[in-house]
Amino acid sequence: DTGVSQDPRHKITKRGQNVTFRCDPISEHNRLYWYRQTLGQGPEFLTYFQNEAQLEKSRLLSDRFSAERPKGSFSTLEIQRTEQGDSAMYLCASSYSVGSSSYEQYFGPGTRLTVT
Amino acid sequence: KNQVEQSPQSLIILEGKNCTLQCNYTVSPFSNLRWYKQDTGRGPVSLTIMTFSENTKSNGRYTATLDADTKQSSLHITASQLSDSASYICVVSANFNKFYFGSGTKLNVKP
């Protein structure tokens, strides 16, 4: 399967715990995006990387959230001291970009986080 | 303010019937518009992508239209099937660099 993969698919954690999600993009894609999606809503942008550089972060990305893409390939999203409001689907997408232009995004299956 | 609004929020139709979903946007500068299908608990999957100069594009039973003057798009589904039950999300790109998502239309096709 050469699509975008995410791990884990589901995560249940207790409030206050830290969680980390992983995203493996399509191999030739240089851009990687993280989104959060709550029930009945469209995805909300969190952050994106161009290769290993994190170029933009949304105001939704509080200081409890950190994302990395150390070698320009896979990425991790960590949430520290989770809160119940963090419960959502976390989606990763990747795309190929040339200069400042990004082509179609391909989404992964998402990681469903439940904070109890 | 860059926004994408979709209507209706939800829709129930009988199998075999047609339906049309709407997307209005205020995103500028406009680059392209995509329609995605998202099954429950899965990531979105692209259906169509349209640039400024394209008025209509088809993908099987899905036909998307774009009116760049009025900043409106529609997705028409013909002869609906049970497997069409999903959320349909409109995404507008600005400067080929930023993506603005609608809240989606939840379609339920009943037998």
pLDDT band at A100 (very low <50, low <70, confident <90, very high): low
Chain B, 10-69: which have a CB under 8 Å from a chain A CB?
31, 34, 36, 41-46, 49
Kindly report, residue by residue over A4-35, the tens digit of the pLDDT: 999 999 999 999 999 999 999 999 899 999 99
pLDDT at A1 over 60: no
Peptide bond into A8 cis (omega under 30): yes
Kindly report, residue by residue over A35-84, the tens digit of the pLDDT: 999 988 899 999 999 999 998 888 888 899 999 999 889 999 999 999 99
Separation in Å, CA B3 to CA A28, A116, B24, B53: 31, 33, 8, 21
For an interface test with A, the pick among B42, B45, B52, B95 (most A C-beta atoms closer than 10 Å) comes out as B42
Q: CA A21 to CA B18: how far, in whole Å?
A: 39
Q: CA A79 to CA A66: how far, in whole Å?
A: 7
pLDDT at B17 over 80: yes
What is the least distance, in Å, from the CA of A2 to any CA of chain B? 14
Chain A, 83-112: which have a CB under 8 Å from a chain B CB?
89, 91, 93, 100-110, 112
Residue B54 CB contacts under 8 Å (≥ 6 apart), including other chains = B66
In the prediction, which pLDDT does A102 show? 63
Residue B82, chain A, CB below 8 Å: the answer is no
Which residue shows structure tokens 């096709």? Answer: B109
- Residue type at position A4: V
Lowest mean pLDDT across A56-60, A75-79, A99-103, B43-47: A99-103
Pairing verdict, β B105-110 and B10-14:
parallel
Of A35, A45, A102, which has the smallest distance from its Cβ to B96's Cβ? A102
Average pLDDT, chain B: 94
Q: CA B80 to CA B38: how far, in whole Å?
A: 16
pLDDT band at A97 (very low <50, low <70, confident <90, very high): confident
pLDDT at B95 over 80: no
* Chain B residue whose CA is closest to A6: B43
Q: DSSP string spanning A66-107?
A: EEE-TTSS-EEEEESS--GGG-EEEEEEEE-EETTEE---EE
Average pLDDT of B5-25? 97
In the prediction, which pLDDT does B85 show? 97
Do residues B31 and B24 touch, judged by C-beta distance below 8 A?
A: no
Pairing verdict, β A10-13 and A111-115:
parallel
Residue A42, chain B, CB below 8 Å: the answer is yes
Contact B43 A4 (CB under 8 A): yes
pLDDT band at B43 (very low <50, low <70, confident <90, very high): very high
Residues of chain B with Cβ-Cβ distance to A112 below 8 Å are: 41
In the prediction, which pLDDT does B51 show? 87
Please work out, in degrees rounded to the nearest 5, the angle formed at the alpha carbon of residue B1 by the alpha carbons of A111 and B7: 65
In the prediction, which pLDDT does B98 show? 81
Residues of chain A with Cβ-Cβ distance to B4 below 8 Å are: 42
Cross-sheet strand order for the sheet of B4-7: B4-7, B19-25, B72-77, B62-67, B56-59
pLDDT at B66 over 90: yes
Do residues B76 and B20 touch, judged by C-beta distance below 8 A?
A: yes
